[in-house]
A and B are shown apart, each in its own frame.
Chain A
Amino acid sequence: MRVRDVMTAPAIVASPENTIGEIAAQMLRNRVTALPVIERGKLVGIVTENDLVVRGVNADELRGHATLRGAFVELVRGRPRWLEVGIRAMDIMTRNVTTATPDEDVFVVAERMISLDRKHMPVVEAERLVGIVSRIDLLRGLIALHREVA
Chain B
Amino acid sequence: MKPAVPLHTIDATSSLQDAAETLAFYGIGALPVEEGGVLVGIVSERDLVRAIAELANFAGTPVSDYMTPGPISIDVGDSLAAAAKIMVEFQVRHVPIVERGRVVDLVSIRDVLSSSAASASSTG
Which residues of A come within 8 Å of B, CB atoms?
20-21, 24-25, 27-28, 31, 33, 49-50, 52-54, 56-58, 68-69, 72-73, 75-76, 78-80, 83, 107, 110-111, 113-114, 119, 135-136, 138-140, 142-143, 145-146, 149
Contact = CB atoms under 8 A, between A and B. Distances in A.
Interface string B1-39: 000000000000000010011011000010000000000
Contacts of B53: 21, 24-25, 27-28
A135 B116 CA distance: 11
A75 B54 CA distance: 13
Interface stretch (B44-52, B67-75, B95-103): B44-52
Interface of B: 17, 20-21, 23-24, 29, 45-46, 48-50, 52-53, 55-60, 84-85, 87-88, 91, 93, 109-110, 112-114, 116-117, 120-121, 123
A53 B121 contact: no
A50 B49 CA distance: 9
A7 B28 CA distance: 24
Contacts of B50: 24, 28
A130 B56 CA distance: 34
B58 to A, nearest CB: 4
Given A24-B52, A136-B91, A110 B20 contact: no
Contacts of B91: 31, 136
Contact of A139 (B21, B57, B113): B113
A25 B50 CA distance: 8
Given A28-B49, A75-B60, A113-B113, 10 more contacts: A31-B91, A49-B45, A50-B29, A57-B58, A69-B17, A72-B59, A111-B117, A139-B88, A140-B88, A145-B120
A146 B80 CA distance: 14
B20 A57 contact: yes
A110 B46 contact: no
A25 B52 CA distance: 8
Contacts of A78: 57
